[in-house]
Amino acid sequence: MDTIEFKPIGIIHTPFTKDSEIPRQAVSAPEISGTIEIKEEYVDGLLDLKKFSHIVVVFHLHLVTFTELISCPPWDDKHGIFSTCSPYRPNPIGISVVKLNKIAGNKIHISCIDMADGTPVLDIKPYIPDLYPQENIKVGWLNNKIALMNKGKSKILFEPLIDN
């Protein structure tokens, strides 16, 4: 299995220039807006995207400098990295569904975002709810924690991207 190389198709501009300001999840930050600036050579690929209400943004968690296979959220016990949303993954790839507000030239205006300013974008996909199962879902150790997250407590919604 060889190394796989990707080149960013663009960069995300967000208000989050300090990592401690970054919301835990995109859905928890409806009021936060930003812009994806697409490289000119990829702009033709944006055709027809503007009529979608939401897009899936695949991005490089570029501030991550190490990997931890066992992750310990500040609000819970230790868990295997692949059962968490921790950024300290072997391949630090982030996926967020964000609201698409407007496309103007090579700029995609979005909200409900949780990325650091300057985040490299790897891919953009249309968000199609039908592709996501809704029945017979079990979320393991996150079960009670999701209920807590939905209460909107800020100590859960905000945490440093990088522990110091």
CA distance 61 to 52: 25
Q: How far is CA 30 from CA 8, 23, 60, 66, 112, in A?
A: 25, 10, 21, 29, 4
Task: Judge whether 52 and 127 are in contact, CB under 8 Å.
Answer: yes
Question: Residue 63 or 97: which CB sits closer to a copy of itself?
Answer: 97
Question: Residue 17 or 150: which CB sits closer to a copy of itself?
Answer: 150
| 67: its two tokens | 């990997």
Question: Residue 11 or 116: which CB sits closer to a copy of itself?
Answer: 11
Buried b vs exposed e over 77-96: b needs ≥16 C-beta within 10 Å?
A: eebebeebebbbbeebebeb
Question: Residue 81 or 162: which CB sits closer to a copy of itself?
Answer: 81
Task: Write down the least CB distance from residue 76 to a copy of itself, Å.
Answer: 10
Residue 43 phi, psi (nearest 5): -60, -35
Question: Residue 16 or 24: which CB sits closer to a copy of itself?
Answer: 24
Task: Write down the least CB distance from residue 38 to a copy of itself, Å.
Answer: 8
Task: Write down the least CB distance from residue 29 to a copy of itself, Å.
Answer: 12
CA distance 25 to 33: 14
Task: Write down the least CB distance from residue 90 to a copy of itself, Å.
Answer: 5
Task: Write down the least CB distance from residue 164 to a copy of itself, Å.
Answer: 23
Q: What contacts 65, CB < 8 A, 6 or more positions away?
A: 162
